Structure 1
Amino acid sequence: MTEQFIAVVPAAGVGARMGANIPKQYLPLHNKTVIEHTLVALLSHPRISKVVVALGSEDGWFTDLDIANDPAIIRVDGGKERADSVLAGLQACHSYQWVLVHDAARPCLTHVDIDNLIIAALDSEHGAILGSQVRDTMKRTDAQGHIIATVERELLWHALTPQMFPVKLLTDALTTGLAGNADITDEASAIELLGLTPKMVVGRADNIKITRPEDMPLAQLFLQQLTQKNNHECNGEDK
């Protein structure tokens, strides 16, 4: 039998940079909310059998969504920081060996990217993450905003999600990092703090994270394109 996996979606944040009166994951986008697109992308993948959603203690929106009643959804209380929410979600993953962690505000995820991530992660004992290579010239500035160096971009990547790791390894890494007050910006950074080297997997650049208001129309465009492509494939138009 093909191994099944579980995903954790930390969704306890409020997304202050969006300037909206509700958390960004509940903003309307292409006939659904942002988080609904995210969860559908995960749950519709044949190798993901459960999704754990870590919600804020005062979340009053998730229960109103139709997808909240999906039996494959597990809800847990999130924490103050992303790492706290992911760690809380991992407590519901004890019967799985591997976990995928994905941002609630990345609704443009494709099954092809999930497939490629799974293949790479299973071939690496330290896990793997999706990423996109840096294309622009990179500059480093001082605290006053003056350019002090041009950074070589050849081996630089934008870290994306999902990120996939063994459940026990990620649990240990996050627990250790939080105990040491480490700066854990994503799951891979916690693994790196243990001296380990997750693998980078080339992902689609349109797997954007909605952070600012200008990201919404871009995500709308990408979702429309993905929907059209899927419809063409289902109708046998792409041979």
Structure 2
Amino acid sequence: MGAAIGKQFLLLAGKPILVHTLERFQACGAVDEIIVATRPSSFPLITEFASVFGLTKLRPPVEGGERRQDSVANALRHLAPEADIVAVHDAVRPFVRLKEIEQSIETARYFGASVVAVRAKDTMKLASTDGRVERTLNRASLWSVQTPQTFRRQVLLDAYAYAAAHGVSATDDSFLAEQTGLSPIIVEGSYENIKITTPDDLLLAELLLQRFVP
């Protein structure tokens, strides 16, 4: 967004976006611990958030990697031994609701993996590399995937082991699980659960926050 700091540290109603996001998981009774993967230079700030905002579930931050999956892999290595369910969430999605977190956890516990998603609203076209439309996709079966993406711990460990062994790279954790033959279950989410990545997103977030009910 042209900012000198990470998007997750931009202020939303006077508070960092990341803090809004962390507060959603802090408030969820099904969540026992929270681990943030980030650059080491941000460690003091994350630690400060824990004390200033009463984030008692927040554990010491861990180093992020060049890719999303590198960050998640490192966070996995720092989980409590008894943790059996892992929810992976974007730092800049502060409008996730408690029921979405809870449902994703319960669904993953039963089926192995879940993804929060919303039904596609726009007509989707499949195009060639030169921009020619090849066909119109059936919107009824298309979903826009959000986060959290939640897994039994061993399912996610197996997915990451497979990715490492086969050189698979992805920006979506559920895609890695799919490569092992698992079909994650969709938990229908909310269109308000936006990912704040542009200045327009931030303006929209300020409006959403005025009426957001966790």
With the length of structure 2 as denominator, give the TM-score of the two structures.
0.90
In structure 1, the gaps of 5 or more residues are 1-17, 231-239
**Higher share of residues assigned strand:** 1
Alignment match, 1:153 = 139
> Is residue 58 of structure 2 the alignment partner of residue 73 of structure 1?
yes
Letter in structure 1 aligned against 2:169:
D
Q: CA deviation at 1:190?
A: 0.7
Q: Secondary structure at the match of 1:107?
A: coil
Q: Map 1:1-40; keep pairs closer than 5 Å.
A: 18-40=1-23
Q: CA deviation at 1:64?
A: 7.2
In structure 2, the gaps of 5 or more residues are none
| 1-structure distance, mates of 2:44, 2:191 | 29
> Is residue 83 of structure 2 the alignment partner of residue 96 of structure 1?
yes
Q: Select 1:172's aligned residue among 139, 158, 164.
A: 158
8 Å CA contact 1:36–1:67 kept in 2: the answer is no
The size of the alignment, in residue pairs, is 210
Q: Secondary structure at the match of 1:73?
A: coil
Q: CA deviation at 1:60?
A: 6.5
> What's the CA shift string for 1:173-228, capped at 9, x where partnerless?
112213322132211011001011110110111111112111001112222211xx
Percent identity for Structure 1 against Structure 2: 33
Q: Secondary structure at the match of 1:92?
A: coil
Cα distance change, pair 79–147 in 1 and its aligned pair in 2 (3 A)? same
Alignment match, 2:148 = 162
| 1-structure distance, mates of 2:70, 2:195 | 20
Cα distance change, pair 61–92 in 1 and its aligned pair in 2 (3 A)? closer
- RMSD of aligned Cα (Å): 1.9
8 Å CA contact 1:87–1:175 kept in 2: the answer is no
Q: Secondary structure at the match of 1:104?
A: coil
Q: Map 1:224-239; keep pairs closer than 5 Å.
A: 224-226=210-212, 229=213
> Is residue 181 of structure 2 the alignment partner of residue 198 of structure 1?
no
Alignment match, 1:121 = 108
**Higher share of residues assigned helix:** 2
With the length of structure 1 as denominator, give the TM-score of the two structures.
0.81
Cα distance change, pair 48–64 in 1 and its aligned pair in 2 (3 A)? closer
Cα distance change, pair 196–66 in 1 and its aligned pair in 2 (3 A)? closer
Letter in structure 1 aligned against 2:134:
I
